[in-house]
Amino acid sequence: MNKVDLCGVNTSKLPLLSSKEKEELLVKIKEGDSLARERFIQGNLRLVLSVIQKFSSRGENADDLFQVGCVGLIKAIDNFDLSVGVKFSTYAVPMIIGEIRRYLRDYNAIRVSRSVKDTAYKALSAKEELIKETGREPSIAEIAKKIDTTEKAVNYALDAIQDPLSLYEPVFHDGGETLFVMDQISDEKVLDESLIDSIALYDALKRLNEKERKIVSMRFFSEKTQMEVANEIGISQAQVSRLEKNAIEHMRKYI
């Protein structure tokens, strides 16, 4: 990110346009003046340069990001409406950032299929709509229902579009020793105590009747509310609460 030359462009010698020059060039561009368009692009490459600095910590190739940022800049120029009354940079920066983020999603080292991405973006859109409608954070079940898919598909899609973290990503620093992601990861293969607990829990679950086992599974593994469980299996919330309490008591006694 400290390179002076990006894609054959000497960034230390990029031209700088005044506000008046930008306005005049934008008018000419809308009239079809290709030379004005070229000059305007050159005069706004500093804007692209400033945006890609925000992505410097990702370890991406600066030349690639600069090229993608230029695509975003050109899209902003082609779609900018002079009558809106806002500065070009105000409109262009989100366009450039959006283009770079789209590139990073599509060319991530961990490939995600288009169908999974589509499900994820539909889920995020549905989530925003539900928050506006209800004034609260929606459950995965509500999101899945709104976009007509399964909870499993929503969970998988949302997990798939998350950016992978480096094991050396710092998560906490108190002025002394830094805590990294890898410090929070344990190897359960060598944790005998954890393995024994898992076996005991599994055996305890098998000793419950079918309804109790289903309620425990839905409540603590699928993270559903008692009301959601009640609606799904066709009993009252009070019955779910009673059965859940009994099931936990039975499991506790066995373990």
Q: How far apart are CA 48 and CA 112, in angstroms?
A: 27
- The pTM of the full predicted model, rounded to 2 decimals, is 0.43
Does residue 72 surpass a pLDDT of 80?
yes
Orientation angle between helical segments 19-30 and 34-43, nearest 10 degrees: 140
Q: How far apart are CA 89 and CA 101, in angstroms?
A: 18
Residues 125-176 have pLDDT tens digits of: 898 888 888 888 889 999 999 999 999 999 888 877 765 555 555 555 545 5
Average pLDDT, integer, range 191-203: 59
Domain boundaries, the chain: 5-106, 109-179, 188-254
188-254: which CATH topology? Arc Repressor Mutant, subunit A (1.10.10)
Tell me the CATH architecture of domain 5-106.
Up-down Bundle (1.20)
Tell me the CATH architecture of domain 109-179.
Orthogonal Bundle (1.10)
Q: How far apart are CA 126 and CA 141, in angstroms?
A: 12
Q: How far apart are CA 91 and CA 79, in angstroms?
A: 10
Does residue 219 surpass a pLDDT of 80?
yes
Same fold, 5-106 and 109-179: no
